[in-house]
A and B are shown apart, each in its own frame.
Chain A
Amino acid sequence: MTDRIAARFAALRAEDRAGLVSYLVAGDPDQAGSQRLLDGKPAAGVDLIELGMPFSDPMADGPAIEASAQYALGAGATLAKTLDQVAAFRRHDNETPVVLMGYFNPIYSYGTQSFIERAAAVGVDGAIIVDLPPEEDEEFRRPAQQAGLHLIRLVTPTTIGERLTTVLDGASGFVYYVAVTGTTGTKSGEAGVVQNAVERLRQATDLPIAVGFGIRTPQQAAAVAKFADAAVVGTALVETVARHRDTPDRMVEALHADIAALAAGVRNARQGG
């Protein structure tokens, strides 16, 4: 089985650039609209896709992502439909890694083993489960890794000392560095502080490091792309979707324009210094 995540980060290294990771909530504005947004992402410049699994009580997310999840659920989103979106995406793209991000309850309710089997079958590469810290993730991580799914671990500014060893033990795919102590989309980390943290993290792991939380603009993405292996943008894109819910065509255009600008920032970050 090919490891799309490893292959993608290897290709990025060969190009000496960071990748752009984009997050949207599956099912916002509806299944068809969400599928269009997803399908167009690689062409617009996304290197790795994070697809949010909507949950009614997203306790680590800020208001924009929570509202998007509520909207998606109201429009009939389910975990099964999220998996169907990945299956549809894979019919025309077998290279761009797709990582599902969300909370454990919908997965547990679906059946952890059934979810893992279905996710692997439709071409999901990994999962980020926000409320499943290392102490609780074995029931997901072991069967997932057997099925070739990475469970992406989160490292935060409070993950220091022995705690970092705990979090990195068993990590695979890449490491997601949460740049701020806060929820998504509410504040931004100071670039120098984040850089120091990422450099410390590199001493402890050989896995690629993606940085997220608080990255909204091409400039912020470029600043992170200088030292990280990938920059994750979520809330800013989720807000673009929310702004254009009444005009689906305009939504696709606007989202892809945002992504193109972010991608340009990321791609040019390491040139000239």
Chain B
Amino acid sequence: MAQPNTYRSGPDERGHFGIYGGRYVAETLMPLILEVEQAYNAAQADPAFEAEFDDMLRHYVGRPSPLYFAERLTEHFGGARIYLKRDELNHTGAHKINNCLGQILLARRMGKTRIIAETGAGQHGVATATVCARFGLPCVVYMGQTDIERQQPNVFRMRLLGAEVRAVRTGTATLKDAMNAALRDWVANVDDTFYIIGTVAGPHPYPAMVRDFQSVIGNEVREQMQAAEGRLPDSLVACIGGGSNAMGLFYPFLDDRDISIIGVEAAGEGVETGKHAASLTGGRPGVLHGNRTYLLQTDDGQIIDAHSISAGLDYPGIGPEHAWLKDSGRVEYVSATDREALDAFQLSAQLEGIIPALEPSHALAHVSKIAGDLPADHLLVMNMCGRGDKDIFTVAKALGVEI
């Protein structure tokens, strides 16, 4: 593929990033999708929308999140200077809230009175329930029965926040089925309902819209790194499930071609075992949930369940812009296994006093593979996109500890 003049011009007016993206939805939803796009375009052009979003990010979410120099990890690896973007310090403990806030402000502008969402691990569900409580809108969160059983604390959090959590028992009862259920709800309730999608996937305009709301992460890093080191970073590393935290960090830097950008997928028990969630590494292009992208699928085009110790990375697809960035070669996509993520999880806790979520533990696992070989003046930024309180039961179990 020839190098484009800019990597920041996508998607085109029909929502495509190269061959990826698009609007592959049932006709019932098409008019609504077009309406969301129009409303989003209008909101982007309205300074009042941006002002309200910025104000809420500052005072409700607690932004900007710090860019923290991880001195002990840097010493431990003995190479690059490691900076952590501390999005785990946001209200609700992850980057998810940035996007939920943007979308609920848009839903209010559109006059929608009911919010639905899908959730896997429950982080996006909690963030959605949070903003719904804040703005007084009823909220229904679809969650696979399998995930409900392994994420009880988040189910309880959502209920405390006033959301109705609906168990999805169809299909394989995981995140992809929760997304199917949310789409079905939306088809049946098009008049009053807004669907807050949790990642940079789904039909256009969601991938671009979620990326834009999450780009606050990368925009802050640009300023913060200038202030700390007087220049831009040399490399960026983020974990990828659907890919929203990564797009948020990467997007503002895509045209700074000297910066190396790396996305880390979940390799589960190993890509070669088939039990993984690495859509880019182990999947191939297909169409699901409104967009064309890399998918884990059988030879017959049936979707395969993803596997990862991190429920937040446990999705058989990936945002279409990542698919395009992979094919164009601008971003390097690698993977880390459950085991490697668990090691990184403990390393961060022990050396920095930061218990990371299992999702960014995958990013740290990759940092641990490369940092030692990088020069001491190399500036590496890793997105610490979530905190690990939610994961302590999973980690304890994996380590054979009873709590």
Interface residue ranges, A against B (CB under 8 Å): 55-60, 62-63, 66-67, 70, 73, 78-80, 103-110, 130-133, 135-136, 153-160, 163, 167, 178, 181-183, 186-187
**Which residues of chain A are within 8 angstroms of B287 by Cβ–Cβ distance?**
103-105, 108, 131
**Which residues of chain A are within 8 angstroms of B25 by Cβ–Cβ distance?**
131, 133
Q: Return A273 CB to nearest CB of chain B, in Å.
A: 33
Quick check: is B31 within 8 A (CB to CB) of the other chain? yes
By CB atoms of chain B within 10 A, which of A55, A59, A108 has the most? Answer: A59
B261-276 at interface with A (beta carbon < 8 Å): none
A181/B170 contact (C-beta < 8 A), A56-B303, A133-B25 known: no
A158/B190 contact (C-beta < 8 A), A108-B286, A109-B297 known: yes
12 pairs, CB–CB < 8 Å, chain A vs chain B: A57-B180, A57-B288, A60-B26, A60-B184, A66-B171, A78-B300, A109-B301, A130-B26, A135-B23, A155-B27, A159-B27, A181-B189
Contact status B170-A63, CB under 8 Å: yes
Contact status A57-B301, CB under 8 Å: no
Quick check: is B28 within 8 A (CB to CB) of the other chain? yes
**Which residues of chain B are within 8 angstroms of A186 by Cβ–Cβ distance?**
188
Contact status A105-B190, CB under 8 Å: no
Quick check: is B24 within 8 A (CB to CB) of the other chain? yes
Report the separation of the CA atoms of residues A178 and B28 in the bound assembly, to the nearest whole angstrom.
Answer: 9
The chain B residue sitting closest to A154, CB to CB, is: B27
**Which residues of chain A are within 8 angstroms of B289 by Cβ–Cβ distance?**
57, 59
B163-195 at interface with A (beta carbon < 8 Å): 170-171, 176-177, 179-180, 183-184, 187-190
Quick check: is B59 within 8 A (CB to CB) of the other chain? no
Report the separation of the CA atoms of residues A224 and B354 in the bound assembly, to the nearest whole angstrom.
Answer: 64
A57/B24 contact (C-beta < 8 A), A63-B170, A79-B301, A108-B301 known: no
Quick check: is B32 within 8 A (CB to CB) of the other chain? yes
The chain B residue sitting closest to A159, CB to CB, is: B27
Contact status B30-A135, CB under 8 Å: yes
Contact status B28-A132, CB under 8 Å: no
Interface residue ranges, B against A (CB under 8 Å): 14, 22-28, 30-32, 34, 170-171, 176-177, 179-180, 183-184, 187-190, 285-290, 295, 297, 299-303
The chain A residue sitting closest to B33, CB to CB, is: A133
**Which residues of chain A are within 8 angstroms of B288 by Cβ–Cβ distance?**
57, 105
**Which residues of chain B are within 8 angstroms of A63 by Cβ–Cβ distance?**
170
A131/B188 contact (C-beta < 8 A), A79-B300, A105-B295, A105-B303 known: no
Q: Return B242 CB to nearest CB of chain A, in Å.
A: 15
* Complex A-B, nearest 9 residue pairs according to Cβ-Cβ distance, in ascending order: A109-B301, A106-B301, A182-B188, A60-B26, A56-B302, A156-B28, A154-B27, A131-B24, A78-B300
The chain B residue sitting closest to A77, CB to CB, is: B300
State which of B28, B34, B302 has its C-beta within 8 Å of the C-beta of A181: B28
Q: Return B56 CB to nearest CB of chain A, in Å.
A: 32
Contact status B303-A57, CB under 8 Å: yes
Task: Other than A181-B28, A181-B189, give 9 A-B pairs with Cβ distance below 8 A.
Answer: A57-B289, A59-B179, A59-B289, A60-B184, A131-B25, A131-B290, A156-B27, A183-B187, A187-B188
Report the separation of the CA atoms of residues A16 and B46 in the bound assembly, to the nearest whole angstrom.
Answer: 57
**Which residues of chain A are within 8 angstroms of B170 by Cβ–Cβ distance?**
63, 66-67
Report the separation of the CA atoms of residues A130 and B285 in the bound assembly, to the nearest whole angstrom.
Answer: 19
Contact status B297-A105, CB under 8 Å: yes
Contact status B27-A133, CB under 8 Å: yes
The chain A residue sitting closest to B181, CB to CB, is: A59
By CB atoms of chain A within 10 A, which of B25, B285, B286 has the most? Answer: B25
Report the separation of the CA atoms of residues A153 and B177 in the bound assembly, to the nearest whole angstrom.
Answer: 26
**Which residues of chain A are within 8 angstroms of B22 by Cβ–Cβ distance?**
135-136
Q: Return A20 CB to nearest CB of chain B, in Å.
A: 23
The chain B residue sitting closest to A131, CB to CB, is: B24
Report the separation of the CA atoms of residues A159 and B26 in the bound assembly, to the nearest whole angstrom.
Answer: 11
**Which residues of chain A are within 8 angstroms of B34 by Cβ–Cβ distance?**
163
